[in-house]
Amino acid sequence: MEKRVLVLNLDHSPVAVVTVQKAMVLTFLEKVSCLSFYESYTIRTVSRTFQYPAVIRLNEYKNIPFRGVLLNRNNLFKRDGGECQYCGSRKNLTIDHVIPRSKGGKTNWTNLITACHRCNVVKGDKSPEQSGMILRSKPFKPSLSFFLAEYAERHAEEWLPFLGVKTV
């Protein structure tokens, strides 16, 4: 049972990712409804066979305060696709403040990018415009759905219709 299960609130907003065991317990306690299953997986007991849940929805709305996505090195690299936002390199990655802290730049999602060591040194204590460097994409604050969709594309395609992501 290595697959994970996406948990949606009653309004279909993503709440959590749980193990299959937890999803099955919630299903038997009638706290959730299964919306999607993994087709090629089943759970077998001595006397029964169950479908393997992929997406479940809470039967009651739970007010869960939005905490946002944690700003850390790993999540920043994931947001930027693991490549330098100036040259596209995937080696010797660091974090760069688009507007340097010495010039009043904040440490937040919209001012931090992934940069290779070489580009970070070339840019130095200047803005990208002052150093003649162009950002490949504008930094943004990602949502939980952004990271769940990235996971789903590799491990759980059954989640994609529930995350508002268009499949190719």
> Per-residue pLDDT for the chain (168 aa), expressed as one digit of tens each?
478 899 999 998 888 889 999 999 999 999 999 999 988 888 888 999 999 999 999 999 999 887 778 899 999 999 999 999 999 999 999 999 999 999 999 999 999 999 999 999 999 999 999 999 999 999 999 988 788 877 777 778 888 888 875 544
Count of positions (residues) in the chain: 168
Q: CA of 151: how far to CAs of 72, 77, 98, 119, in Å?
A: 17, 14, 27, 29
Domain ranges of the chain: 4-66+143-162, 73-131
**CA–CA dist 131, 7 (Å, integer):** 46
| CATH architecture label of 73-131 | Orthogonal Bundle (1.10)
Q: What's the pTM? A: 0.70
